[in-house]
Amino acid sequence: MSAKRVLLIIGGGIAAYKCLELIRRLGDQGIAVRAILTRAGAEFVTPLSVASLTGDKVYTELFSLTDESEMGHIRLSREADLVLVAPATADLMAKMAQGLANDLASTALLATDKPVMIAPTMNSRMWDHPATQRNLATLRADGVTIITPGSGALACGEVGAGRLSEPHEILAAVLDFYAARDGLKPLAGRHALVTAGPTYEAIDPVRYIANRSSGKQGYAIAAALQALGARVTLVSGPTALPDPTGVSVIRIESARDMLKACEAALPADIAVCVAAVADWRIDCDAAQKIKKTGGAPPALSFVENPDILATLSKTGPNRPALVIGFAAETEQVIDHARAKRARKGCDWIVANDVSHATGIMGGDRNSVHLITEAGIDTWPDSPKDNVARDLAARIAQFFANPTKDSAPCP
C-alpha cells in the first residue's frame, strides 16, 4: 500500500473523533493522508490533533493566501488517489449533490477529478428525510461510493440509522478501492481454509444431533477472502446456501468428516474455523431406525468429537500461518473466548453472543469481538457480509505485517 494518498475531508459532528483512529489505521497500511478540516469539524477535533497523526499540514480555509499559494484547492483535490469524506454530514452531502462550493471542502469536492467516497452520519430522521435520500441517490448516480451508516444509539439520544461507520469498516472500504483500482489482491497466492455451518451427528439412519448454525458467516468469510485474491477451500456442513463464486466447496456431514476434509486441504496459509462443530457424537449410531416401543426411551452414550481447531493449531509443518477460531457463547463471552484461544492454541478468536435474544445464530447480522495477542477489538452490530469483509481486511493486514498485532499462543 506504499505511495497511496487519501484526501480526507472531516465534516462536523460528534463522530469526527473517529477520524483520528481512521488516520492511524490508514497510516498503518502505508496510506498517506492529507486533511481538510471544515469549520464545523474543527468544533470537534483540532487541526493540531489531525496534523499530528497525518504528519502533514491541515487545510481549513478557502480564502487563505498562504494555503492557496503553497497548494491551492485544485492541486489539493487532485494530488490524492481518493477523496474520502468522513464524517459526511447532511449539509456536505447536499452541497455535493447540488454542486455548491462556498468553502474549501465543497470547492475541493467540486474541483476533484478523483474518485469520491463518503461515510455519512446524522440524526436518523435527517437520514430518512426525503431530501437526504434524494441527495444520496444523486451522489450514487454520480459515482460516489457510499459507506452506509450503521444503526444504534446516536449522540442525540435517539436510536436509529445514522451512526458513522467504525474506522475499521471505513478502512476496509478504502482497501477495497485500492484493490479494485490497481487490480491488486493482497491475498493473491495465499490458500485459505474455511469451515462453515453445523455438523450432523447420526443417531440412526433417520435422526441426528445438530445445531442452529446457518453457515452464513462462514460462507461470507470464504467469499470475502476470495475477493481479496486468496484460493479458498470451504469445508461446509449441511446448509441451504449456494456455493460462493470462485470458492472450492467440500460438503460434509459429521465432525470426523470435516476434520478429514480439512487435513486433506492442507497446506494452507490461513485457517478460519467458523463451523459450529458438534462437541459430542453417539458412540455407536444404530444401523436401523430406533423404534418407539412404548417403554423407556433408549439410552444414548456419547463420546467427544475430534477438536478441529486445536488440531489445525498444533505446531507442525502444515500449521497455517494464521489460525482463527470462532467462539459462540451465551455468557461471559470475552472471558470464555480468551480461555478458548489459550486452550486451543490458535492465533485469533472471533467471539460473539449467540443467546437466543440476539438473533445471531441463523440470522443475517453479527456483533463480534476479535481477540488477538495484542488485545480485543469490539466491532459493532452489522450485516454478516460486512463482518466478513472486515475480517478479510484484517487478515490481509496481518500478512502485510505479521508481527504487528498478533502472534501465536505460546
Please say if the pLDDT value at position 83 is more than 60.
yes
pLDDT confidence band for 203 (50 / 70 / 90): very high
* pLDDT computed for residue 363 by the predictor: 83
* pLDDT computed for residue 61 by the predictor: 86
When comparing pLDDT for 154 and 122, which is higher? Answer: 122
pLDDT confidence band for 265 (50 / 70 / 90): very high
When comparing pLDDT for 221 and 358, which is higher? Answer: 221
Is 344 annotated in some ligand binding site? yes
As a whole number of angstroms, the distance between CA 239 and CA 258 comes to 14
Give per-residue pLDDT as tens, 359-379: 777 788 888 999 999 999 999
Please say if the pLDDT value at position 20 is more than 90.
yes
Is 309 annotated in some ligand binding site? yes
Is 307 annotated in some ligand binding site? yes
Percentage of the chain lying above the pLDDT 70 cut: 93
Please say if the pLDDT value at position 56 is more than 90.
yes
When comparing pLDDT for 125 and 347, which is higher? Answer: 347
* pLDDT computed for residue 124 by the predictor: 87
Claim: this prediction has a pTM higher than 0.75: no
Give the mean model confidence (pLDDT) for residues 208-235. 93
Percentage of the chain lying above the pLDDT 90 cut: 66
Q: Taking the CB of residue 278, how many other CB atoms lie within 10 A of it?
A: 21
Q: Measured between alpha carbons, how far is residue 369 from residues 125, 348, 385 in Å?
A: 30, 10, 16
When comparing pLDDT for 286 and 280, which is higher? Answer: 280
* pLDDT computed for residue 406 by the predictor: 45
Go through the domains of the chain in sequence order and give each one's CATH number. 4-182 (3.40.50.1950), 191-282+299-400 (3.40.50.10300)
Give the mean model confidence (pLDDT) for residues 173-185. 80
* pLDDT computed for residue 404 by the predictor: 56
pLDDT confidence band for 410 (50 / 70 / 90): very low
Catalytic residues: 156
DSSP H helices in 213-325: 216-227, 255-265, 308-313
* pLDDT computed for residue 361 by the predictor: 75
Give the mean model confidence (pLDDT) for residues 316-342. 93
pLDDT confidence band for 70 (50 / 70 / 90): low
Is 308 annotated in some ligand binding site? yes
* pLDDT computed for residue 338 by the predictor: 94
Please say if the pLDDT value at position 408 is more than 60.
no
* pLDDT computed for residue 409 by the predictor: 36
pLDDT confidence band for 66 (50 / 70 / 90): low
